[in-house]
């Protein structure tokens, strides 16, 4: 009986998961006039998406991590996060990542943002691979937090800051 439970337990670990969600928090720092972006992504899904460009396993967060991992992640995030403010495209700067077991946290910044009112966002992360991928974006300001969920085929969303 224990062996059977072990087999089913291992199968559960190897089976694909049923949900695909990323969480992107865009925090506005009014003193620094900066958008600080933290993106929480399932590590396995990110690796799976990037491996064709890496020509092999990325092994994120391990001693054998592909040396191109950060540049591949930065490029991918740039392609799949579109930010505009008052009709001008913003270019987030990739700062780096942290890998915590099954979750990767990627960090980006945009300088020179005095007020994020009217920030337009399109988040298509992982939707090129997983049609059921949902990308939640939170815009945090001193007035509160506004949120939007992007699904495959979503249009850009313009945030209004809470009053």
pLDDT value for 103? 96
**What are the DSSP E strand ranges found in 17-102?**
21-29, 34-42, 81-85, 88-90, 93-100
Domain membership flag for residue 132: yes
pLDDT value for 133? 94
pLDDT value for 17? 52
pLDDT value for 11? 42
* Mean pLDDT, the chain, integer: 89
Nearest of 50, 46, 40, 22 to residue 151 by alpha carbon: 22
Give the domain extent around 145.
20-158
d(CA 31, CA 102): 34
Confidence bin at 18 (pLDDT 50/70/90): low
pLDDT value for 27? 98
Span 99-119, mean pLDDT?
96
Domain membership flag for residue 65: yes
Number of domains in the chain: 1
Confidence bin at 19 (pLDDT 50/70/90): low
- Conformation bin of residue 75: beta by default, left when phi > 0, alpha when psi is -120 to 50: alpha
pLDDT value for 68? 94
Q: Are 41 and 104 in contact (CB under 8 A)?
A: yes
Domain membership flag for residue 91: yes
Domain membership flag for residue 52: yes
Render pLDDT for 68-78 as a digit per residue (tens, 0 to 9). 999 999 999 99
Look at the block and give the residue holding tokens 């087999």. Answer: 7
Cα 139 from chain centre: 14
Q: What is the 3-state secondary structure (H, E, C) of 88-147?
A: EEECCEEEEEEEECCEEEEEEEEECCCCCCCCEEEECCCCCCCCCCEEEEEEEECCEEEE
Domain membership flag for residue 143: yes
């Amino acid at each position: 009986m224990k062996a059977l439970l072990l087999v089913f337990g291992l199968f559960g670990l190897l089976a694909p998961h049923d949900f695909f969600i990323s969480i992107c928090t865009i925090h506005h720092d009014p003193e620094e006039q900066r958008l600080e972006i933290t993106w929480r992504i399932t590590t396995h899904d990110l690796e799976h998406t990037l491996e064709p460009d890496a020509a092999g396993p990325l092994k994120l967060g391990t001693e054998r991590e592909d040396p191109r991992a950060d540049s591949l992640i930065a490029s991918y995030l740039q392609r799949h996060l579109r930010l505009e403010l008052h009709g001008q495209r913003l270019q987030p700067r990739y700062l780096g990542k942290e890998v915590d077991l099954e979750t990767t946290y990627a960090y980006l910044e945009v300088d020179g943002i005095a007020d994020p009112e009217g920030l337009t966002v399109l988040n298509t992360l992982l939707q090129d691979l997983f049609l059921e991928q949902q990308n939640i974006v939170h815009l945090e300001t001193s007035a509160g937090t506004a949120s939007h969920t992007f699904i495959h085929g979503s249009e850009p969303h313009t945030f209004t800051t809470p009053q």
